[in-house]
Structure 1
Amino acid sequence: MSDKFSAGMRLGLAATTIAVFAGAAGYGLAIFQDGGRTTPQASDAGRKVLYWYDPMVPHERYDNPETRSSMGMKTIPKYADEGPGEAGIAIDPAQAQNLGLRIVAAQTGTLGSALTATGSIDFNQRDVAVIQSRAGGFVQRVYARAPGDVIGAGAPLADLLLPEWAGAQAEYLAVKRTGDAALTRAARQRLALVGMPAGTIAAVDRGGTPHNVITISSPINGAIKTLGVRKGMTISAGETLAEVNGLGTVWLNAAVPEAMAGQLRPGQSATATLTAFPAERFGGRIAAILPAFQVDSRTLTVRIELPNRGGRLRPGMFANVDFGGTTRSALLVPSEAVIRTGKRTLVMLALDKGRYQPAEVQTGQTNGGQTEILAGLSEGEKVVASGQFLIDSEASLSGVQARPISTQAATPLKQAAAKAGAYATVGRIDKIDATGITFSHQPMPALNWPAMTMSFRLANPALARGYKAGDRVRFSFDQSPAGPTIRTITREAGQ
């Protein structure tokens, strides 16, 4: 019994020891990242302690080391000689290697602006023929037609018996037989006024007998949208009998994401690839950008008009649309380095001495695995492109504040830019004169400017040489006492 009891005691002590060491190791992972410190050592003796705290809940402060935090953890000291400049959290290089951290620098590169969207074919609603009865009567005969049928121009739809027209024609023929030219002209004019087609009047003239049965037909090639005539029914003047939609051109309604909408304009070319004809490309132009915004999908509808040779493009067909695009320079980071929380967008900065800090950024377009940074980073700053989510989680637990957009560090490149154009953007030249240039330019987050049209002074009139209204350019400027002044200007790629 004593041997069994001793073995049980030894097993219990071993389990307790493992639990203690495991707890200490877990806690050590939490505290080694706050300021790069481990559990206080004897070498810290003599340093002034401001307060004690738990890195897991850094906002809680205690006045003695025996107090445990609200999470039940032992507190560590905050020393007076820990400089305020030590931002972020510190990670031992060996630990960083274990986490698989990959560091890249934000660099200016070329961003392709290929714009693509999906859409579906629809009827061209501007090419619609509405067929109505011009007099009251009866449907004597209908032809074998149905909604959806594709018919040619002149295809008969129905025969109508129109008593009113028959009486007017008989009166005209009687007046014509009198030989009175004036009365004959008046009677003929009456036939036109009641809505009788010129062809029917000519047939009455030639035959000398009334034509009281009139065949209505389609004036255009197209598909029957509605057909409201049946044999024997009574119709009234002005009643719609049928609608025919032309198929010579069709609309492609593309759902364009909100972020792309500002880059499109009516008249711009577009190319469509249809699932039904994967080996062919159909070219067209943007006819309109519809004003209604789809809140649920955050898209705008862009209407593209496509020629429909042979009537092969049918309403309802699915299509991929390529709006083309240009390339331009931009500050880029790998897309995998960007952390989107839903409320803001972050990157994890890699600072000196193995420290890391989240930084809030404003992003632009994404293409080819690269994301454009509009604000929050400077060229040359290093960010974590792999493993950043682990650091961000630890930073959140440690209460590390993200660097706001307005305080990004100035690099030598940025400082040099401040001397010869602190701000840069892309815009279209609207007007050039002796004093300056008027641009319709993109937003300027650094100045809290939205996209707008405004005038800029020219630091040197020679800068505008070779440019004209309509050119798309990238330009830099600074805020001089005389107003925004252009320092550099270059034509955008593809111009």
Structure 2
Amino acid sequence: MRVLSLLAIAFLAACAEAPPADAPQADASGEALYTCPMHPHYISTDRDGTCPICGMDLVPVSGAPAPSSNGITVPSEIIQTIGVRTETVRRIPLQKTLRAFGTVEASERLESAVASRIEGWVKDLAVSAEGDVVEAGDVLYRIFSPDLVAAQQDLLTALASGDDRRIEATRKRLLSLGMQAPAIAAVERSREAIERIPVLADASGVVARLSVRNGDYIRPGAQVVVLQSYSDVWVIADIPESDLHLVREGISAALHFPSAPSHPAEGTVDYVYPTVDPASRTGKLRIVVANPSGRLRPGAYADIRLETEEVSALAIPSDAILRDSRGAHVVLALGEGRFTSRQVQTGLTANGMTAITEGLSEGDRIVASGQFLLDSEVRLREGFARLDSVKADADTPLAEIPVDAQTLAQIDHYPDMALYLHEALTQRYAIDHLFLQPVIDLGDSLLARYGQTRLGPILKAGQDALRKAQEAKDSDALAAALRELMLAIRPWLTEGAPSHYEEAGLTLYHGGGDLFWLQEGGPPSNPYGTGIAHIIEWPEVSANVVENRPRAIDPHANH
């Protein structure tokens, strides 16, 4: 523990030794350097240049470079000391193995009940107890029925007459009274009535229940015997609620039976029950297993292994994921010793890898070892940023929230994306999803400083709208994302810095209802289709820009 503490102290000290934030940076020749507020890894000596990635005006480089306000830069020697190891986010096939226990049960599909269709007395009962084995066609019992004896005499009379229509009618009458076809055929062959009529088994099985004895008087509908076949059995397994969504009907299962260790078997998931036990938080599934030898007995335990369907997913080592009250997050390696924290949504975990459903892209590099110290430092920086970055609260009007020129330029990326989506819809071209991700990432750092103000919900809703734009598959979905983005940022446009956007040459249009859009000059072009287009006049309100005046945004940035 002492070694780890010394490493942590050395790490934090090294990170804290960065030059002061207001110290100008220069290259080896002493020439001033300039960078993009949103893409600080881009460095240029052109004072009046713009960022080739997003089109923003460059600003002087101050202090150590950092990817964002919530990132850190770590010297290479410290990276080696704390053993930082990175992994690439890649798409791999994932398949999870589920383990469960279950019990063997008789298959209800192989159960058959024999009920009497004849009124009479049971004679010559061939099965005497539960467990007797019966084959299809065996005589179960014989029954004496005066009504059937009389009906047989009618059949014999018809046979003697040679009248085919009468013969067929008497046959049908015997069938309706419950006499089986083999018994009727025997009467026709022998030309003699059968006093004790045999009742044959329609299916093979083992006697599960026997309801009558020799000499009993039974009526039509009375249950006589229940036969159960064990050629197939069911295994009912309990699966944790969290894994139920991974199980599909038709997948195979490997089973081991402690009561029959030499009888390993494979089965197929036949049914996933639609309910969950509120006490154990488990669901049930039914597995059909072949049992030709009959060694698998109802009530026996089964050890079950299920291989879920293989899925292709973006995945990272499970050990790289950090979890706390904020949820799951990782430390993202941006190159050149720069690191930042990123919230993620996780999915399937299998074989030491965890699928990432949201928050990372293929090719990103994450820290798989040493991420605890890096994440602690990132969170420490965020805490200081929240303490001294903004002197405002949830009651401060938008126009009175203090922002500097660089921060205003960062917020400008939200209306910039609104211009981009408008242009894509009206000029009918597909957006590049990569253009939207930097703005979504930038929102995290802005929320770290302004989350407690009225600007926080605007930034968060704007992020959500941009994520929907990334997922849009057609123009209707993209238009819906633009509508949500405009509803999110409209309070900032009209109450926060309207004078700033008026100076930038932007026009805010209202298309009726909750439809709004931004344009830069030209006649109005409704991105939601044909309809009205009313200009909303910019209020005479200026943002509370500290230290220097804001720069006008570039409406063509990110195009």
Range into which the TM-score falls when normalised by the shorter chain: 0.5 to 0.7
Distance 2:325 2:278 in 1: 17
* One-letter amino acid of the structure 2 residue matched with residue 139 of structure 1: V
Q: Which residue of 2 aligns with 1:491?
A: none
Shift in Å, 1:116: 4.2
* One-letter amino acid of the structure 1 residue matched with residue 183 of structure 2: T
Is the 8 Å Cα contact of residues 89 and 357 (structure 1) preserved in structure 2? yes
Cα deviation code 1:44-86 (max 9, x no counterpart): 9x99xxxxxxxxxxxxxxxxxxxxxxxxxxxxxxxxx999944
2:203 to 220, 234, 245: 220
2:329 to 335, 338, 346: 346
Distance 1:234 1:143 in 2: 16
Distance 2:279 2:316 in 1: 30
Cα deviation code 1:320-375 (max 9, x no counterpart): 244475474x4332212223458732334567898876532111222221112221
Share of identical aligned residues, percent? Answer: 29
Distance 2:125 2:371 in 1: 73
1:187-202 to 2 correspondence within 5 Å? 187-202=170-185
Q: Which residue of 2 aligns with 1:234?
A: 217
SS of the residue 1:309 aligns to: coil
Aligned CA distance change for structure 1 residues 103 and 146 (closer, same or farther; 3 Å): farther
1:318 to 274, 286, 302: 302
Distance 2:145 2:384 in 1: 85
Distance 1:201 1:313 in 2: 40
Q: Which residue of 2 aligns with 1:367?
A: 350
Q: CA RMSD in A?
A: 5.5
SS of the residue 1:310 aligns to: coil
1:308 to 264, 287, 291: 291
1:111 to 80, 93, 110: 93
Q: Which residue of 1 aligns with 2:256?
A: 274
SS of the residue 1:365 aligns to: strand
Shift in Å, 1:131: 0.8
Aligned CA distance change for structure 1 residues 180 and 115 (closer, same or farther; 3 Å): same
Q: Which residue of 2 aligns with 1:166?
A: 149
Is the 8 Å Cα contact of residues 115 and 225 (structure 2) preserved in structure 1? yes
Is the 8 Å Cα contact of residues 267 and 289 (structure 2) preserved in structure 1? yes
Indicate whether 1:376 and 2:359 are aligned: yes
Shift in Å, 1:247: 3.3
Distance 2:325 2:72 in 1: 23
Is the 8 Å Cα contact of residues 147 and 227 (structure 1) preserved in structure 2? yes
Is the 8 Å Cα contact of residues 103 and 350 (structure 1) preserved in structure 2? no
Normalising by structure 1, what TM-score?
A: 0.53
Is the 8 Å Cα contact of residues 116 and 321 (structure 1) preserved in structure 2? yes
Normalising by structure 2, what TM-score?
A: 0.48
* One-letter amino acid of the structure 1 residue matched with residue 209 of structure 2: T
Cα deviation code 1:220-263 (max 9, x no counterpart): 22233433223444322012222223334344555566676666
Distance 2:472 2:301 in 1: 36
* One-letter amino acid of the structure 2 residue matched with residue 308 of structure 1: N
* One-letter amino acid of the structure 1 residue matched with residue 114 of structure 2: I
Distance 2:470 2:129 in 1: 57
Structure 1: any 5+ residue segments left out of the alignment? 1-25, 48-80, 403-417, 424-444, 457-480, 482-495
Q: Which residue of 2 aligns with 1:123?
A: 106
Indicate whether 1:154 and 2:154 are aligned: no
Distance 2:470 2:211 in 1: 57
Is the 8 Å Cα contact of residues 95 and 307 (structure 2) preserved in structure 1? no
Structure 1 or 2: more helix by fraction: 2
Q: Which residue of 2 aligns with 1:65?
A: none
Distance 1:451 1:352 in 2: 30
Which deviates more, 199-208 or 358-367?
Answer: 199-208
Aligned CA distance change for structure 1 residues 132 and 147 (closer, same or farther; 3 Å): same
Aligned length: 356
1:390-429 to 2 correspondence within 5 Å? 400=383
